[in-house]
Amino acid sequence: MTGRGRGRGRRMMTFSVEAVGINRGDSLPPSIQQPTPLFPVMEQKPLPLAGGEEAEYLLALKQEFRGAMKSLPCFIQPAAAHRDVERYSDKYHSTEPADGPTDWTTDWKRFPKELRVRVKKPTRDGVSAAVTRSDRVQSGQKKKKIKEKEEVLLKLETLEKKEERGSSGEEEEEGEEKKKKQEDEEAEGEEEYDEEEFEEETDYVMSYFDNGEEFGGDSDDNMDEAIY
Amino acid sequence: MTAQEVRLCGLLLQEHFGEVVAKVGTHLLKSGAQNLRTIIHETGISLDLVKKSLCVLVQHGTCVFSSGRKAPGSPTEYRTSCDRILRILRYPRYIYTAKTLYGDTGELIIEELLQRGDMTMSSTVKTVADRLTQNMEEGRSMDYSEVSSAFSKLVETHFLQRCPPMAGAGTKDSGTPATPATPAIPGTPAAPVSTAPPTPESFPDCYRVPHVTLIGRGKRRLSNEDGEDQRNAKKTKMDSETHGDEGIYWQVNFERFHLHFRDQAIISAVANKLDQTSSEIVRTMLRMSEVTTSPTATCTKPLSANEIFRSLPSSYNIPRPILDQYLTLLVDDPMEFVGKAGESGGGMYVVNLHKALANLARATLESVVQERFGSRSARIFRLLLRKRHLEQKQVEDFAMIPAKEAKDMLYTLLSQNLVQLQEIPKTPDYAPSRTFYLYTVNQLPTARMLLQNCYKTVANLIERRLFESKESKRLLEKSQRIEAILASLQASGAEPEQLTEVEEMITAPEKQQLEALRLHINKLDSAENQVDETIFLLESYVNSTMSVY
């Protein structure tokens, strides 16, 4: 009954207005219709920052500390997103995850078992050592493509060698062994392949004339097959 | 774990450990204790990265793990807490304090330990010796024994402590006989989960320096050595040498540094309020009671005036009666830094630690109100702090401010929640016309609120700094590249024309922009440091009230 406020007396509030000090006839400050501005005007300007030698030294310490942390192994970068096409600049932008796990030697006894990272033997060209299977799956897209290409080229090479040397038993086994080895030691295969291919930039694969002995010896065995 | 604290922790983790660790850390903060599978599932980050982030967090002491709550066999759970991460703000202050107390050697020891989280004594000594040697002139190098002695001094004064051996980490016996196995839990495979994780101080050997054989001098890293070779060399070195302290890891004891800061705050407050001699007396009293006072004590142990007189530094040659007068003045001071506890021995005096902290916090609150709302509002605020509850009319009278303005100021303070209204009913039905409305200020809740404001401030400062750096990222990168080119040119001995040519690659307006950027970033960083000082005061005050219970 008393609180009919809407039409008649608009100024009904939950607490007594006289006691708090709003007398009749006093105008209230205008009611706020929208959120307060993001950067309201300040009536009092804030004090300037404390300067002095200590403050500057602390500042320098802080910035150096931040910079040093960025270069430590505990600074973990997320895996870089792979773009749709390989680009030329990727070669120069390559931010290797550095030697993260190998560089960071710590006492694994102090960590629970599930957190311990197995450190595999580092591969020859310094690829990050603790590449687990999941990582290989995720980030191996590029490498897979290259691997496939190399595998194809290596296969062609071995086939050439086979025809060059004829189908004697040893060479076949050699070829098979090589194929098996490809899967385990891609890195080494890559390097050997690179050497052979790019040594003199000729159109001929250098291993064609690898050993003088093989060339002379094989030609005696199988005169039936053509030598390309 | 308020929203502001979590936001600030996330930003600090991002700046110092990278985005991945920040994501994992904030997730743990928001959701409490979790096991590995849940973290991976809920954050969506790959297993490898989550593992690495957790390792980083555990090494730096921000994350603790324990076997699951449900049953002894359930997977380990990880949990973080805000306050350890918020300490990162204070790292520069710790390093600077170590420098003032123990020189450059101490400074570098603390810096290395803060960067790595925890290290053994031997590796710390070697790294610090190498770094010191790097900065010395050609032909001189730092001996390991000097660094070891600085390390031992830090341990003796409790600034460094041993990391607690991990009970549930999968090893039951300690590495070396020097570290004791967890006492009183000989056969249980998992530490009792209901109790809080053991503090480092619960182990008796917490501050014992192990016997370490470290003979040698720091190595200077040659400038033409490849980075790769250096890393390999370091690796082989660490593998081949063991020094008898494997398994003993040291960490920085933040509580001890906080006690030191608190003492410094009290001493400087006395110096500001009274004079230099009184502050020296208080400093002597605090120094004498460093070892006898527990960290949570309300006041120091009583010291007699005779003892104080004997322990005063010899440069202060004040006669005994003058000392007595100074002590009486300190006791009578309304700030109550020093209290009298008895008459024996020429008068027994204590330093009231908790009261001093409360007074310092109160001064902080008052100055905040003064700087934001003006000195008259500050007068009203101080009045309410002193007189506890006042009616509207009484406020106007006591503060000697005209009614209208007093009303305005009170409402502004009320809307900012610095002042509260207390209702006292005369009748049980709380009728507005028959109730007293009194204005009051509660110091503790107001301090907590301001503390949250401080966290928000620092988070805003960090975000602004990141924004500014991101805006000018291109320019910064360009200037970095040019500096690198200049450095390499100078190292290989180029002519001045080449150098000027390279320097001119940055145009003048770009230089101006860079200067302005540097100025802004420095300002924001200094502001963070300064806000951290306020945070320290308010946090100490809030913690001191909590520890009473």
Q: Does A2 touch chain B (CB under 8 A)?
A: no
Shortest CA distance to B440 belongs to which of B483, B384, B492? B384
How far is the C-alpha of B470 from the C-alpha of B464, rounded, in Å?
10
Q: State the ipTM, two decimals.
A: 0.81
How far is the C-alpha of B182 from the C-alpha of B165, rounded, in Å?
7
**Which site among B51, B228, B235 would you substitute to test the A interface, given the most A Cβ atoms closer than 10 Å to its Cβ?**
B51
Asked if the Cβ–Cβ distance from A16 to B433 is below 8 Å, we say yes
Chain B residue numbers touching A63 (CB-CB < 8 A): 525
Amino acid letter, B325: Q
Asked if the Cβ–Cβ distance from B17 to A47 is below 8 Å, we say no
Asked if the Cβ–Cβ distance from A76 to B392 is below 8 Å, we say no
Dihedral sign, CA of A214, A215, A217, A219? positive
pLDDT confidence of residue A96: 52
How far is the C-alpha of B380 from the C-alpha of B386, rounded, in Å?
10
Residues 40-69 of chain A whose Cβ lies under 8 A from any Cβ of chain B: 43-44, 46-47, 49-50, 54-55, 57-59, 61-63, 65-66, 68-69
pLDDT confidence of residue B173: 30
Output DSSP code: residue B352: B
Digits of tens for pLDDT over chain B (549 positions)? 899 999 999 999 999 998 899 999 999 999 888 888 888 888 888 888 888 888 888 888 888 888 767 777 777 888 888 888 999 999 999 999 999 999 989 999 999 999 988 888 888 888 888 888 888 777 677 788 888 888 888 988 888 888 877 654 433 332 223 333 333 333 333 333 334 455 666 666 667 776 666 666 666 655 443 444 444 444 444 444 566 667 788 889 899 999 999 999 999 999 999 888 899 999 999 988 887 888 888 888 888 888 888 888 878 788 888 989 999 999 998 888 898 988 888 889 999 999 999 999 999 999 999 998 989 999 999 999 999 899 989 999 999 999 989 998 999 999 899 999 988 889 888 887 888 889 999 999 999 999 999 999 999 999 999 999 998 888 888 888 888 888 888 888 777 777 777 777 778 888 898 999 999 999 999 999 999 999 999 999 999 998 765
Chain B residue numbers touching A46 (CB-CB < 8 A): 371
Asked if the Cβ–Cβ distance from B529 to A58 is below 8 Å, we say yes
Shortest CA distance to A101 belongs to which of B235, B366, B360, B407? B235
Cβ-Cβ contacts under 8 Å for A164 (sequence gap 6 or more): A208, A215, A218, A227
Output DSSP code: residue B193: S
Widest CA span in chain A:
124
Size of interface A-B (CB pairs under 8 A): 160
How far is the C-alpha of A100 from the C-alpha of A130, rounded, in Å?
9
Closest CA of chain B from A117, distance in Å: 8
Asked if the Cβ–Cβ distance from B371 to A44 is below 8 Å, we say yes
Closest CA of chain B from A186, distance in Å: 23
Residues 112-171 of chain A whose Cβ lies under 8 A from any Cβ of chain B: 112-115, 117, 132, 134-135, 138
Length of chain B: 549
Chain B residue numbers touching A117 (CB-CB < 8 A): 48, 51-52, 55
The three-state DSSP-derived secondary structure of B296-343 is CCCECCCEEHHHHHHHCCCCCCCCHHHHHHHHHHHHHCCCCCEEEEEC
Mean pLDDT value across residues A113-142: 49
Tokens representing residue B18 in the block: 């990278």
Asked if the Cβ–Cβ distance from B249 to A50 is below 8 Å, we say no
Asked if the Cβ–Cβ distance from B16 to A115 is below 8 Å, we say no
With H, G, I as helix, E, B as strand and everything else as coil, classify residue B162.
strand
Chain A residue numbers touching B393 (CB-CB < 8 A): 21
Name the residue facing B169 among A22, A72, A111 (closest C-beta). Answer: A111
Cβ atoms within 10 Å, residue B464: 14
Cβ-Cβ contacts under 8 Å for B386 (sequence gap 6 or more): none
Give me the percent of chain B exceeding a pLDDT of 70: 85
Cβ-Cβ contacts under 8 Å for A90 (sequence gap 6 or more): none
Per-position DSSP letters for B216-254, written without gaps between them: -BPPPPPTTS-HHHHHHHHHHHHHH---S-TT--EEE-H
Q: Is the CB of residue B399 less than 8 Å from the CB of residue B383?
A: yes
Chain B residue numbers touching A14 (CB-CB < 8 A): 432
With H, G, I as helix, E, B as strand and everything else as coil, classify residue B46.
coil
Strands B435-440 and B389-390: antiparallel
Asked if the Cβ–Cβ distance from A109 to B392 is below 8 Å, we say no
pLDDT confidence of residue A128: 40
* B348-351 β-sheet, strand order: B303-304, B348-351, B338-342
Chain A residue numbers touching B525 (CB-CB < 8 A): 59, 62-63
Tokens representing residue A31 in the block: 């009611």
Asked if the Cβ–Cβ distance from A50 to B530 is below 8 Å, we say yes
Asked if the Cβ–Cβ distance from A75 to B16 is below 8 Å, we say yes
Asked if the Cβ–Cβ distance from A78 to B56 is below 8 Å, we say no
Amino acid letter, B549: Y
Closest CA of chain B from A73, distance in Å: 9
Asked if the Cβ–Cβ distance from A21 to B18 is below 8 Å, we say no
pLDDT confidence of residue B199: 64
Cβ-Cβ contacts under 8 Å for B435 (sequence gap 6 or more): A15, A16, A19, B423, B424, B425, B426, B427
Q: Is the CB of residue B537 less than 8 Å from the CB of residue B520?
A: no
pLDDT confidence of residue B219: 64
Mean pLDDT value across residues A122-126: 41
**Predicted TM-score (pTM) of this structure:** 0.74
**Minimum Cα–Cα distance from A75: chain B residue:** B17
Chain A residue numbers touching B246 (CB-CB < 8 A): 107
Asked if the Cβ–Cβ distance from A62 to B528 is below 8 Å, we say yes
Q: Is the CB of residue B531 less than 8 Å from the CB of residue B461?
A: yes
Counting other chains too, the contacts that A185-191 makes at CB distance below 8 Å and 24 or more residues apart are A186/A147, A186/A150, A187/A123, A187/A124, A187/A125, A187/A127, A188/A124, A189/A150, A189/A154, A190/A125, A190/A150, A191/A124, A191/A125
Q: Is the CB of residue B406 less than 8 Å from the CB of residue B395?
A: yes
Shortest CA distance to B383 belongs to which of B299, B463, B439? B439
**Which site among B268, B370, B526, B533 would you substitute to test the A interface, given the most A Cβ atoms closer than 10 Å to its Cβ?**
B526
Asked if the Cβ–Cβ distance from A75 to B116 is below 8 Å, we say no
The separation between the first and the last C-alpha atoms of chain B, rounded to the nearest angstrom, is: 20
Counting other chains too, the contacts that B475-482 makes at CB distance below 8 Å and 24 or more residues apart are B475/B510, B475/B513, B475/B514, B475/B517, B476/B514, B476/B517, B478/B505, B478/B506, B478/B510, B479/B506, B479/B510, B479/B514, B482/B506
Alpha-carbon torsion, ordered B88, B89, B90, B93, to 10 deg: 120
**Minimum Cα–Cα distance from A102: chain B residue:** B235
Question: Measured in whole angstroms, how far is the alpha carbon of residue A172 from the centre of its chain?
Answer: 40
Q: Is the CB of residue B80 less than 8 Å from the CB of residue B62?
A: yes
Please list the residues that pair with B80 across neighbouring strands: B63
Name the residue facing A63 among B54, B392, B525 (closest C-beta). Answer: B525
Asked if the Cβ–Cβ distance from B52 to A65 is below 8 Å, we say no
Chain A residue numbers touching B168 (CB-CB < 8 A): 112
Q: Is the CB of residue B417 less than 8 Å from the CB of residue B365?
A: no
pLDDT in tens, A97-110: 544 444 566 677 77
Asked if the Cβ–Cβ distance from A107 to B231 is below 8 Å, we say no
Q: Is the CB of residue B12 less than 8 Å from the CB of residue B465?
A: no
Chain A residue numbers touching B247 (CB-CB < 8 A): 107, 109
pLDDT in tens, B32-75: 888 888 888 888 888 888 888 888 888 888 888 887 677 777 77
Asked if the Cβ–Cβ distance from A54 to B169 is below 8 Å, we say no
Name the residue facing A57 among B19, B96, B175 (closest C-beta). Answer: B96
Shortest CA distance to B251 belongs to which of B115, B126, B149, B56? B115
Asked if the Cβ–Cβ distance from A15 to B421 is below 8 Å, we say yes
pLDDT confidence of residue B257: 93
pLDDT higher than threshold 70 for residue A73: yes
